[in-house]
Structure 1
Amino acid sequence: EDPSVVMALRVTNLVFPYAFRCNAELVPLLTFRMVQLSLKKGACSLSCPAFAGYGMLLCGAFGSIEDGCVIGQVAEAMHEKYGGREWVARYSLSVHGMINTWNRPWRESLEPVKAGYRIGLGTGDIEFSFLCAAVYSTICFHSGSPLNLVYTESEDFIRLAETYGQEHIQASIRVTTQLCANLMGMAQNPLELSGSFMDQTAVLRTATQSQDGAQLSTVHLYLLVLSCFHHKYDHAARAAANLNQIQLRSGSAFGNASRYFMDGLAAFALARSMSKSPFSTRGSCLK
């Protein structure tokens, strides 16, 4: 009921996307401040994305998955009690896209995350709307949705993101779309993420220069997937080694699961032809 607290929460929520893009180190500080204000002064609809973001940080950046999932349930309860359509895209991204995927079937998150995308467009929360779109496409792929469906929907997201000037998020969706194109036989080199949607060399160069660990990680993960799909396990081992060199402050359930499964698969295959190799230990994780 305190107007100054409500205004503080609103302003913090509004600057959150800019911190997310320009200075990621501010994201935990802003999140903690919103949670602190809500606990001291009382919760409202603006508290929902704060607790959702806190749960996401616990699951990803801090590796405390059980605690993060509990906070995610708190955010869900807040959403049911206070509503707040204006912030649905942020809530859906954090809770359904990045928290619930740690302890629930991934496909259960698809419709809520897509709803966050649609509602975000309607309320003007454009950046988080397209973040929902990017996460939706990624979960679709990792949960085994038909490639042609992932490809078609992602292509639509790219066109609309371009209309709204969301180049940074569009670049993320392009990587997933190019992966689908490769797996559908639509790339000249099936082991390289280059084609209609991206140029692998250019994307890696830009991501390296901007220290975009998330984009670098995604590209090398998908190269690992392609290499395993085509039984090129030496290529897969190199992609896995590149992944291990990237220092990420957070991670997703679907990204981590695919990464370690594919890494173990490649190591297991290589260990068969290389006795007493380090791949034997890594490959044993699949047993």
Structure 2
Amino acid sequence: MGHLIGFYSLLAGMGINILACAWIAFMLWKGQTNGIRRITWLQGLVVILILIPCIVLVLALLRHDFSYMVVADYTDSLLPWAYTLTAFWAGQEGSFLFWTLAVALFGLVWSFSRAGRQTAEKNACSFWLMYTLVQAFFLLIATTVSNAFVQLSPPPAEGNGLNPLLQHPGMVFHPPLLFIGYAGLTVPAALGLGTLFAADDDWLVRVRNWTLLAWIFLTAGIVLGAWWSYMELGWGGYWAWDPVENASLIPWLASSAFVHTAVIGRKGRALGRTNVALAGLSLVLCLLATFVTRSGMLDSLHAFGDHGVGLP
């Protein structure tokens, strides 16, 4: 029953998100953007509908419900509860669900923030058009190829357990920090790409703190990952230029470049297209980094499991 609640909550969230996206596109087409502030309540509903399956999955992990493929693949009944919870983002399905929740929460917090409230209605409309499109992509993946609620029938008596290399304090902090950083870059990307539909000369001013926040989370995640790599024998020390390590570094470099070019853009109204391109590129590279690490397409010291599931 729980898996049905989780899955259909995600489907409902995707449906509401698509309706919101279509409504925003219609308002932009008609030039009537005075109702855009209502999108905040729809975004809040989407957050709730994504939070429900996250709670369902956490409860399944804590109960060691091995009828869930995710639970059976990454936990066992003897695994300490702290590492049982980290199994949430040990695999592709749970980590993508966590990322989807983080994206939705960042959008909701943005709408209530001072920067969000100060954004003109037309610019807010173009921002939400891009944001709901990105959010729709995440929800589509979370309900199809990365469905965390796939059931095993009959359920196994015991799970496979978590890889011993992942039973480390770094597993508690490193992956979620990276995913929060990735999610935070959605805000500047959506606001920057939204300027393609509605000119906004001050978007860099409003997005500055959000970009720095995402960059800080991303930096902290990479630093903790380097420390973890140093602590684990055979991982090549702090930095071994491993494909998985490099995958998280690439969006960090793009976002670092955006942080600096945005300063020039705010002061001299220069590098307008460059800033939009870097904001969008940072998000695209986050998606690419996750695909590289989770798909198993590259050999890596940080890849685990039969499906080449890698740690970001």
Q: TM-score, normalised by structure 1?
A: 0.34
Q: Which has the bigger relative contact order, CA under 8 A and spacing at least 6? A: 2
